[in-house]
Amino acid sequence: MAYYPGRRRLDFSRYYRALAIIAVAILLFATATRLTPLQGDMDVSQSAGEGGSALRQVILFLCAGLVLAASRPLINPAGLLRFPLSMIILLGWCVLSLGWAAAPGVSLRRLILTFLVIWSIFRAVDALGYRQFLKILCYCCIAMLIANYLAVLLKPVAAIHLSADSNDPSLLGAWRGIVPHKNITGPVCALTLFLLVFGIGEMPLVVRLGLIAADIFFLIQTNSKTSMALSLTAILGGYIVKNYHPRVRLLVVPGAIVAGCVLAYVIDTYLPSYLSYLGSSQDAFTGRIQIWRILVDYIQDHLMLGAGFASFWAVGDSGPLSHYTSQRWILLQVAEGHNGYLDITAQLGLIGLGLSVLAIFVVPLAKLIFEADLPDRYRALMFAILFFSIGHNVTESSIMATDQFMQFVLMLVIACIEDMRAPWRAIRHANMMRWVRAAGEEFRLAVAAAIGRVNADKDDPR
């Protein structure tokens, strides 16, 4: 530096951020399109299943490498494994389940890939910050929306479902764009809608309204009724959360208990007869009832531990599925249970279900509701996405589902909530440490005073 006094110090921070941005864009594209864009009609289970695509595995390792470089591991090595405690416990249970997994080799491979996705998302949020991360995500979703429209206009044969499933007549004519199935396109459009409605990204109001209208139109064309209904309800819930007063959070717990009791009564009273009615039809819920029956039968036999992480579906002829059904279409085509709660219970047992719901839904929602200092707009966005995901898992499976799109979304929500809380958590930690030091000093003075009085009594000649 002495020889070049005018030379500026190089700043590589923007290059590190660029690596994280590239990783986010690749992850979004890979999880949404399954790397099979415009390949014609394919079953949703085939497109969203985990059959072991070598290309997807390479992509996940590439993204992890980019995020690792962006995290600057030599500067902050401790931050590479920073996760919420509830998520650490859940991942630990997944690791333990390898000990009793029906297909331990498959289970281990899928667990490694799942961890790569989760780790990459958390570290990307750390590298970018939740505001910039969500802004980049919004722009990527807009780019995907434009790509979907171009696919429908330029290659409708591949971008629109041209055949109807025997159990799902609504599939015929449904738009999917570059995404392999309309049941994945629906959540992609829903996420785009949430980001735009809650004002993520810097763009003029007219442009934002135009994009919202375009996204809603495409969502309607997907015929994804679940996504449409959940999107509207989630947005309303988000605005309620955005505008509620922090003092109202004291009423949340008793309100949730009352709502839970009412829901339990309704489920116990009406659900058995309704499921019995649906079970009489082979086409009920587009064949999901038949799949759910298999899951329920297996869960009853393996209630506490399950089959091991990701060891139930698509693990070969020796897997547990072959012992519970002989229907060829389920054995050959189905790669998920189309219900996240039943799926995770079949894999990780009742303990795993509790840990999963706690780590992925309950703890993040509690942080959103009870943390008074979070930015209202982002609090509302995170709540809307979580609400959508809770309902989405009733008919699809995305809880700990490796590299599926909604698993990507769930993890980014948890990571963003943790990043949002970081400044206030640091302030509370500093205040607590000050209180501990003050209490320690008072205790030291009190002990010194007591010792002084004892010594004075000893020196007293009386």
pLDDT tens digits for range 205-241? 999 999 999 999 999 999 998 899 999 999 999 998 8
pLDDT at position 29 over 80? yes
pLDDT at position 334 over 50? yes
**If we measure between CA atoms, which residue out of 112, 110, 134, 114 comes closest to residue 124?**
134
Structural tokens at position 134: 């969500």
**If we measure between CA atoms, which residue out of 55, 35, 57 comes closest to residue 46?**
35
Instruction: Output the pLDDT for position 271.
Output: 58
Average pLDDT over residues 92-101: 96
Q: Which residue has the higher pLDDT, 209 or 10?
A: 209
State residue 442 phi and psi, 5-degree precision: -65, -40
398 band by pLDDT with thresholds 50, 70 and 90: very high
pLDDT at position 383 over 60? yes
Q: How far is CA 262 from CA 129, 215, 257, 315, in A?
A: 40, 35, 9, 39
Instruction: Output the pLDDT for position 456.
Output: 60
42-46, 202-206, 258-262, 278-282: range with highest mean pLDDT:
202-206
51 band by pLDDT with thresholds 50, 70 and 90: very low
pLDDT at position 9 over 60? no
State residue 42 phi and psi, 5-degree precision: -150, 150
Least confident of 35-39, 237-241, 343-347: 35-39
**Domain coordinates in residue numbering, the chain:** 13-440
Least confident of 139-148, 169-178, 433-442: 433-442
Instruction: Output the pLDDT for position 287.
Output: 66
Whole-number Å distance between alpha carbons of 74 and 361: 33
**If we measure between CA atoms, which residue out of 152, 143, 147 comes closest to residue 175?**
152
pLDDT at position 177 over 60? yes
pLDDT at position 179 over 80? yes
Instruction: Output the pLDDT for position 430.
Output: 56
Which residue carries 């109807």 as its tokens? 164
CA dihedral of 387, 80, 28, 164, whole degrees rounded to 10: -60
Mean model confidence pLDDT for the chain:
84
Share of the chain above pLDDT 70, in %: 76
Give 290-325 pLDDT, tens digit per residue: 888 899 899 999 999 999 999 999 888 778 988 888
